[in-house]
Amino acid sequence: EAGVTQSPTHLIKTRGQQATLRCSPISGHTSVYWYQQALGLGLQFLLWYDEGEERNRGNFPPRFSGRQFPNYSSELNVNALELEDSALYLCASSLEVVREGQPQHFGDGTRLSIL
Amino acid sequence: AQSVTQPDIHITVSEGASLELRCNYSYGATPYLFWYVQSPGQGLQLLLKYFSGDTLVQGIKGFEAEFKRSQSSFNLRKPSVHWSDAAEYFCAVAASGGYQKVTFGTGTKLQVIP
């Protein structure tokens, strides 16, 4: 069974540009989660999508947005990039919402560097 | 809202020694609890999870964790550490009975010395 896949592995942008990160969940998983892991800040919850809908959002500005496609893959878009957006962005998927006790399975992340 | 605390930012143990990583959570009812491990440059891998039932949970790679309701703790243990266990470990909590986002601790970085 293929795991969660994220692309690209690395992404280098400059301030003010826009970045698009992609995630393919494990087959059969309907929920996709995005996290930001900046140096020294742990995992910060960004977004949760389930069945194509945004279900929950972390404390991030609106320039962080995303969507989930009918095949359950997902995109994270970051507009007007700032230096502090440099981080590892992790995507996770699960079978159902976590209330059913399904753990999240993580991809290896996209390393976004802002110059 | 739930929260989780990992009081140890960094721990160093000798190879072959026992290990205990601490995790304390805050939640009014019985939560779902998880331990994940992250090797450098990689995503998080699930080590074990607790939902209900037996309070001692066995995971992969020889790890186990014990849920102690009275202490609001879910400490991770391993009887004999291997050099390959050097990584960062995250405890996570999710509320039961209705969706709440998973909350991760800040992580404990484990260094293993020969």
Which tokens sit at B73? 């703790």
Q: How confident is the model at residue A96 (pLDDT cuts 50, 70, 90)?
A: low
Q: How many Å separate Cα B44 from the centre of its chain?
A: 12
Instruction: Pick the closest to residue B45 from B33, B60, B32 (CA basis).
Output: B60
Strand partners, A21: A76
Nearest CB to B101 within list A48, A90, A106: A48
Give me the pLDDT at residue A100, please.
57
Contact A55 B36 (CB under 8 A): no
Give me the pLDDT at residue A56, please.
86
Contact B105, B95 (CB under 8 A): no
The percent of residues in chain A predicted with pLDDT above 90, rounded, is: 70
Nearest CB to B34 within list A35, A55, A103: A103
d(CA A58, CA B68): 29
Give me the pLDDT at residue A87, please.
96
- Taking 70 as the pLDDT cut, the residues of chain B under it are 96-101
Nearest CB to A90 within list B44, B46, B98: B44
Q: Which residues of B touch A108 (CB under 8 A)?
A: 41-43
Contact B43 A107 (CB under 8 A): yes
Give me the pLDDT at residue B96, please.
64
As a whole number, the mean pLDDT across chain A is: 91
d(CA A26, CA A4): 5
Nearest CB to B97 within list A55, A99, A107: A99
Q: How confident is the model at residue A102 (pLDDT cuts 50, 70, 90)?
A: confident
Query: Mind listing the pLDDT tens digit for each residue in A18-72?
Result: 999 999 999 989 889 999 999 877 889 899 998 899 988 989 999 999 999 999 9
Contact A56 B101 (CB under 8 A): yes
B46-69 burial code (b ≥16 CB/10 A, e <16): bbbbbbeeeeebebeeebbbbbee
Give me the pLDDT at residue A61, please.
96
Give me the pLDDT at residue B95, please.
72
Q: Is the pLDDT of residue A101 over 70?
A: no
Residues 6+ apart with CB under 8 A from B106: A42, B6, B9
Q: How confident is the model at residue A99 (pLDDT cuts 50, 70, 90)?
A: low
A51: distance to nearest CA of chain B, Å?
14
In chain B, which residues touch A (CB < 8 A)? 32, 34, 36, 41-46, 49, 51, 90, 94-107
